[in-house]
Amino acid sequence: MSIGVISTDPYHGYAVVFSPFISGKLAIVGGLNFGIAGPGALVIFESSLATGFRESRRYSWKDVLFDVTWSEIQEQILVAASGDGSLLVYDQACPQGPVSILNGHTAEVSSVEWSLTRQEQLILSSSWDTSIRIWDSERGICLLVISEHTGIVYKACWSPRLPNVFASVSGDGTLRIWDSSLPHKCTGWIDVRSGEILSCSWNKYNENVLCTGGVDTTLKLWDIRRLTHPLMIIPGHTQSIRCVTFDPHSSSILASCSYDFTVRFWDTHNIERPHLQTISHHNEFTYCVDFSVHEQGMVADCAWDKTAKVY
């Protein structure tokens, strides 16, 4: 059941993320001309029973914004990933624009994520320049550059349970696991031999399990202790899977969205029939889906049809 339809016009949506602090608050980023050329924006929305979703902040930028993450320690801080290779740090108390800019990547920044464990406050970014960077969130400096992928790194994401550990997926067809505290960093990798991998997500309840999705249209579950073959392969989508994410309220529920215009929900504990539901309420590439950490079952997605939907 739809709770709200949010217009992102004139921007085609690339990412939508719920606030970890405030229920019903979310951030959306995107760009003009499907992100191919032209400016982008970060727009923040808040909801109330009286008014529904309303725009509370809008930050325009000279290039498309591909991804956004909320700070895990300060509710007003966000970081956006830009097509010009920079990370933009925003403070909602400052309406004019980014309060700082982190430069280092030499091509589009494809993903950005704030560390999820309390032992560290780091920012993780990945880029079309085939590198991954870790940044000190307080000092705004790059602490580590990893350049072992040979293709675009579409996504890098922190483990929600293991400090210093993160996963990355790439156009080179590999999934890699890293521990930034170790000298050699990479603790495991596999070439899935099925084309570009576009997204990954960790299970919030099992520190060893994550899921990937990509151009082969299937979801694959992996145990990072044994990356020789997937635990489970889930077909269903008919085009590339652009985003996959585990439900923070469940050990088995997973959502994915695709260039086939759909969002689909899965139960990974049901090996024979994992498919739960297909949502077909967009008429363009569906680019991102996110679960609320505050309201169990609440989901937001965004697409290139210039809408985001909460349901």
**DSSP per-residue letters across 148-176:** --SS-EEEEEE-SSSTTEEEEEETTSEEE
Count of C-beta atoms within a 10 Å radius of residue 190? 19
Q: Taking 90 as the threshold, does the pLDDT of residue 99 lie above it?
A: yes
For the stretch 154-182, pLDDT in tens is 999 999 999 999 999 999 999 999 999 99
Helices (H) and strands (E) in the chain, counts: 0, 28
> What is the pLDDT averaged over residues 57-83?
97
For the stretch 277-288, pLDDT in tens is 999 999 999 999
Q: What residues does 211 pair with on adjacent strands?
A: 201, 221
Confidence category of residue 201, pLDDT binned at 50, 70, 90: very high
Please give the pLDDT value at position 183: 82
Please give the pLDDT value at position 2: 64
Closest-CA residue to 240 (of 279, 262, 213) = 213
> What is the pLDDT averaged over residues 267-271?
97
Sign of torsion, CA 55 248 283 15? positive
Write out the two tokens for 148: 């072992």
pTM recorded for the entire structure: 0.95
Q: Taking 70 as the threshold, does the pLDDT of residue 70 lie above it?
A: yes
Rounded to whole angstroms, the Cα distance separating 249 from 265 reads 14
Q: Taking 90 as the threshold, does the pLDDT of residue 19 lie above it?
A: yes
Write out the two tokens for 60: 């325009």
Residues 6+ apart with CB under 8 A from 188: 176, 177, 224, 227
Rounded to whole angstroms, the Cα distance separating 245 from 200 reads 7
Q: Taking 60 as the threshold, does the pLDDT of residue 1 lie above it?
A: no
Write out the two tokens for 83: 């097509």
Closest-CA residue to 112 (of 100, 104, 102, 124) = 124
Average per-residue pLDDT in the chain? Answer: 96
Rounded to whole angstroms, the Cα distance separating 64 from 260 reads 23
Rounded to whole angstroms, the Cα distance separating 256 from 169 reads 16
- End-to-end Cα, the chain, rounded Å: 6
> What is the pLDDT averaged over residues 252-280?
98
Write out the two tokens for 22: 């405030």
Count of C-beta atoms within a 10 Å radius of residue 40? 25
Residues 6+ apart with CB under 8 A from 49: none
Please give the pLDDT value at position 75: 96
Please give the pLDDT value at position 117: 79
Please give the pLDDT value at position 50: 66
Instruction: Return the SS3 of 262.
Output: coil
Q: Taking 90 as the threshold, does the pLDDT of residue 52 lie above it?
A: no
Rounded to whole angstroms, the Cα distance separating 262 from 66 reads 20
Q: What residues does 46 pair with on adjacent strands?
A: 54
Please give the pLDDT value at position 192: 87
Closest-CA residue to 67 (of 31, 33, 34) = 31
- CA-derived radius of gyration, the chain: 18
Write out the two tokens for 78: 């966000």
For the stretch 222-239, pLDDT in tens is 999 999 999 999 999 999
Determine what percent of the chain is predicted with pLDDT higher than 90: 91
Instruction: Out of 51-60, 107-116, 255-264, pick the least confident.
Output: 51-60
Please give the pLDDT value at position 186: 95
Please give the pLDDT value at position 271: 94
